[in-house]
């Protein structure tokens, strides 16, 4: 069998009309150009429906073949077989299998592998890294958002002492420091990875009693104990890397939406975990959980949040959290 | 045009050199590319990204092999191992860069300077790799360019542009394209570029005026009705403020969509401008993209990608690519048979990998 082809010698752009035939393990072309080469030295381009097949000689000269059906038959005669991946790419069954397998792998890693791996990595990271990250964040916040606390020092000390008296629900409490700041962003409290718990004057004033403040502090200690912040940093980098692999050169705007949504879920999980920690701490110390729930209600009343749909939110809805706290009583 | 028709055309156009434009054609289909994409994506994920270098080569080969002009298609020769090495170096650089700023501002600043000093060189390597590994009719493309020029075009000019409050942007854009095209070659033939700085300023100005007109129109229509709602006495204060907030969100949303619509206009103007002023030896290129069509493709692609949670992506890429390729034509001046190959050199893929991960658009 001989099939027509165009031969390019790799030295000029001239197209030579030739015919290709294979006999005894040798490919021979004849016509405008003549040459023969053992088929083991030739490289054949991958099969694709609408593209011409190319056969490349060791010196970059190549043949371009239009009649793909005839060429497939010729290749089959020589015992050539498409690679596993090419066969999978060319069949819809293979491709649909790949869709299913990809979805399964992505879901499993999102639900189980990523949280576990990031927890491990967060625990492995030296404290020095956390410390320098936290210092950077605190410096930034102090410059932009915070002013020194207006609370009397005695009141600050009293709150710190009161919290120190409480028994944490688990062993291995990380070193922590409670800092007071006056803020431009209203009542707030959060924890930095290196162990600083920052609580704003506005929050202290908003809470009706000290038990409510203890609940907030316990929630933040929960974030520290579970190392949520570092886990989150690791997780969001991993998600960003994966999204880059999937979307490649797609527009950045589209690529960032899934990153954001996927990260939100981890964030909500972390909030629930910290709530559970605080619940356990309150119980261990015999503080009525109604105080903690009350604290959330206070917060809700001031911020008067418009509740976004759950999957668009970094925190579970406050109603859901209050209900969870009260149920745990 | 069917394949057979194209083949018949070759001997003719060879013996009788003509100067009727020859349109580029793109034969790739979304459904086939989808299968290539998903299979390679699966293996990339399973191998934690290592396979992505092979996937890139396979995808690029598909795009090149589907693009033809005058009856023959392009070919990509990039070596996956070289690309993998480039990607590993890129990942290390990104990690080091990100950690540096967390460590201290001084180390961060030093890293920033180092990255700035390295970037032009990486772009240069990336352009070289991409062109040396592309061929048409068995002849490879190539890229030269002196180190001095690289730093002028990719470091000094961007810095000057920033200092000029971006007034120099069209000038820098012209210089970058001029550099890219004039230093590219096909075999022993050089590309040349004749797009003037003035034409780049004109394109930017045109897009800016369109943008401004749109912003004013949006502000007048939306802003007016918003004002009417808020000042109307029908609503109590709370409802009015809620309507106001919704109105602002709507306003910003419309502005965002408007910016999005403008991008295809800009891309179309620039692609036409660039390719209509590019020559390869005596042969000219032509490009006649329409921004309305490009805007339609871009917007429907984005909607498709969002609605299918990403599964439409390969179809979207093929649609955009097909339109862009098929708007190009080559106007030959004499025979296309006389290009001669230059002696070939191996080029490292470090630049390729880095540019890829940092998401540089080196679209040539």
Q: Which of B3, B61, B316 sits opposite A66 (nearest CB)?
A: B3
Q: What percent of chain B has pLDDT over 90?
A: 35
Backbone angles phi, psi at A179, to 5 degrees: -120, 140
Arithmetic mean of pLDDT over chain B: 81
Does the beta-carbon distance from A12 to B338 stay under 8 Å? yes
Does the beta-carbon distance from A85 to B40 stay under 8 Å? yes
B315-344 pLDDT, tens digit per residue, is 999 999 999 999 999 998 888 887 877 765
Does the beta-carbon distance from A245 to B44 stay under 8 Å? yes
The whole-angstrom distance between A255's CA and the closest CA on chain B is 9
Q: Decide: A143 and A176 in contact? Cβ < 8 Å.
A: no
Can you tell me whether residue A169 is helix, strand or coil?
coil
Distances (CA, A) of B270 to B170, B195, B291, B356: 10, 10, 11, 22
Q: Residue B358: is its pLDDT beyond 50?
A: no
Chain B residues with CB under 8 Å of A71 CB are none
Q: Which of A14, A51, A106 sits opposite B66 (nearest CB)?
A: A51
Give the separation between CA B243 and CA B248, rounded to whole angstroms.
Answer: 9
Q: Which of A12, A94, A254 sits opposite B339 (nearest CB)?
A: A12
Give the separation between CA A159 and CA A204, rounded to whole angstroms.
Answer: 10
- pLDDT at position B240 is 62
pLDDT band at B163 (very low <50, low <70, confident <90, very high): very high
Chain A residues with CB under 8 Å of B34 CB are 95
The whole-angstrom distance between B172's CA and the closest CA on chain A is 23
A117-148 pLDDT, tens digit per residue, is 888 887 787 777 777 777 777 887 888 778 88
Taking residues A231-235, report their average pLDDT: 79
A52-108 pLDDT, tens digit per residue, is 888 889 888 899 888 888 888 888 888 788 888 888 888 889 999 999 999 999 889
- pLDDT at position B246 is 73
B269-283 pLDDT, tens digit per residue, is 999 999 999 999 889
Chain B residues with CB under 8 Å of A94 CB are 35, 39
A201-221 pLDDT, tens digit per residue, is 888 888 888 888 998 899 989
- pLDDT at position B315 is 94
Does the beta-carbon distance from B65 to A9 stay under 8 Å? no
Arithmetic mean of pLDDT over chain A: 82
- pLDDT at position A192 is 84
Give the global pTM.
0.78
| Local structure of residue A40 (DSSP, 8 states) | G
- pLDDT at position B117 is 87
Give the separation between CA B102 and CA A133, rounded to whole angstroms.
Answer: 5
Chain B residues with CB under 8 Å of A17 CB are 11
Taking residues A30-49, report their average pLDDT: 86
- Whose tokens are 């490292």? That residue is B348
B93-142 pLDDT, tens digit per residue, is 777 877 776 667 788 788 888 888 888 888 888 888 888 888 999 888 88
Give the separation between CA A163 and CA A178, rounded to whole angstroms.
Answer: 10
Does the beta-carbon distance from B45 to A106 stay under 8 Å? yes
Does the beta-carbon distance from B309 to A98 stay under 8 Å? no
Chain B residues with CB under 8 Å of A11 CB are 138-139, 340-341
- Which residues in chain A belong to E strands, given as ranges? 2-8, 16-23, 26-31, 35-38, 43-44, 53-56, 62-65, 146-148, 177-183, 189-191, 196-200
Q: Which of A9, A98, A106 sits opposite B138 (nearest CB)?
A: A9
- pLDDT at position B18 is 61
Does the beta-carbon distance from B72 to A6 stay under 8 Å? yes
Chain A residues with CB under 8 Å of B62 CB are 48, 51
Can you tell me whether residue A92 is helix, strand or coil?
helix
pLDDT band at B295 (very low <50, low <70, confident <90, very high): confident
């Amino acid at each position: 069998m001989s099939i027509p082809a165009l031969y390019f010698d790799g030295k000029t752009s001239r197209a030579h009309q030739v015919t290709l035939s294979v006999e005894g393990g040798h490919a021979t072309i004849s016509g405008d150009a003549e040459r023969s080469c053992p088929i083991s030295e030739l490289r054949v381009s991958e099969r694709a429906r609408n593209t011409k097949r190319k056969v490349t000689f060791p010196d970059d000269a190549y043949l371009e073949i239009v009649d793909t059906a005839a060429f497939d038959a010729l290749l089959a005669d020589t015992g050539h077989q498409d690679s596993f991946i090419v066969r999978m790419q060319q069949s819809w069954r293979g491709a649909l299998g790949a869709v299913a397998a990809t979805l399964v792998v992505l879901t499993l890693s999102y639900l189980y592998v990523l949280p576990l791996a990031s927890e491990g990595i967060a625990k492995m990271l030296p404290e020095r890294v956390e410390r320098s990250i936290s210092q950077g964040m605190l410096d930034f916040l102090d410059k932009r958002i915070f002013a020194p606390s207006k609370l009397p020092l005695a009141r600050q000390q009293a709150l710190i002492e009161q919290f120190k008296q409480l028994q944490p629900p688990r062993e291995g409490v990380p070193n922590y420091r409670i800092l007071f700041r006056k803020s431009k962003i209203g009542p707030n409290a959060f924890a930095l990875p290196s162990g600083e718990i920052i609580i704003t004057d506005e929050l202290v004033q908003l809470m009706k009693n000290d038990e409510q403040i203890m609940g907030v502090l316990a929630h933040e200690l929960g974030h520290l104990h579970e190392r949520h912040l570092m886990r989150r940093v690791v997780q969001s980098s991993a998600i960003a890397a994966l999204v880059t692999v999937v979307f490649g050169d797609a527009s950045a705007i589209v690529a960032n939406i899934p990153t954001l949504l996927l990260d939100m879920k981890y964030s909500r999980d972390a909030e629930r975990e910290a709530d559970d920690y605080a619940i356990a701490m309150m119980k261990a110390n015999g503080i009525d959980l109604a105080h903690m729930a009350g604290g959330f209600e206070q917060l809700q009343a001031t911020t008067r949040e418009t509740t976004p749909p759950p999957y668009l939110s970094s925190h579970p809805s406050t109603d859901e959290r209050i209900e969870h706290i009260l149920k745990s009583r | 045009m069917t394949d057979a028709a194209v083949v018949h055309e070759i001997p003719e156009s060879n013996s009788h050199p003509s100067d009727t434009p020859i349109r580029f054609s793109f034969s790739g289909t979304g459904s086939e590319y989808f299968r290539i994409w998903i299979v390679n994506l699966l293996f990339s994920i399973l191998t934690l990204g290592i396979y992505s270098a092979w996937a890139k080569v396979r995808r690029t080969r598909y795009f090149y092999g589907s693009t033809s002009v005058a009856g023959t298609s392009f070919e990509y020769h990039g070596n996956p191992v070289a690309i993998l090495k480039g990607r590993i170096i890129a990942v290390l650089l990104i990690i080091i860069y990100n950690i540096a700023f967390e460590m201290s501002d001084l180390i961060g600043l030093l890293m920033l300077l180092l990255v700035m000093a390295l970037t032009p060189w990486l772009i240069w390597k990336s352009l070289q790799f991409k062109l040396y590994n592309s061929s048409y009719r068995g002849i490879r493309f190539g890229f030269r360019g002196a180190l001095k020029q690289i730093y002028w075009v990719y470091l000094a000019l961007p810095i000057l542009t920033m200092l000029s409050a971006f007034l120099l942007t069209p000038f820098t854009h012209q210089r970058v394209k001029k550099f890219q095209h004039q230093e590219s070659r096909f075999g022993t033939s050089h590309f040349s570029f004749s797009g003037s700085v003035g034409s780049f300023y004109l394109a930017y100005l045109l897009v800016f005026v369109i943008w401004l007109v749109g912003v004013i129109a949006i502000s007048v229509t939306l802003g007016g009705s918003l004002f009417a709602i808020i000042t109307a006495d029908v609503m109590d204060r709370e409802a009015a403020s809620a309507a106001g907030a919704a109105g602002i969100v709507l306003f910003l949303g419309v502005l965002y969509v408007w910016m999005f619509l403008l991008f295809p206009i800009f891309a179309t103007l620039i692609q036409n401008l660039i390719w209509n002023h590019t020559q390869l030896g005596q042969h000219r290129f032509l490009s006649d993209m329409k921004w309305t069509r490009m805007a339609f493709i871009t917007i429907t692609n984005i909607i498709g990608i969002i609605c299918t949670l990403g599964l439409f992506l390969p179809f979207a890429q093929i649609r955009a690519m097909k339109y862009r390729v098929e708007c190009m034509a080559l106007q030959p001046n004499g025979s296309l048979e006389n290009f001669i190959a230059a002696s070939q050199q191996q080029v490292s893929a470090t630049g390729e990998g880095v540019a890829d991960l940092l998401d540089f658009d080196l679209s040539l």
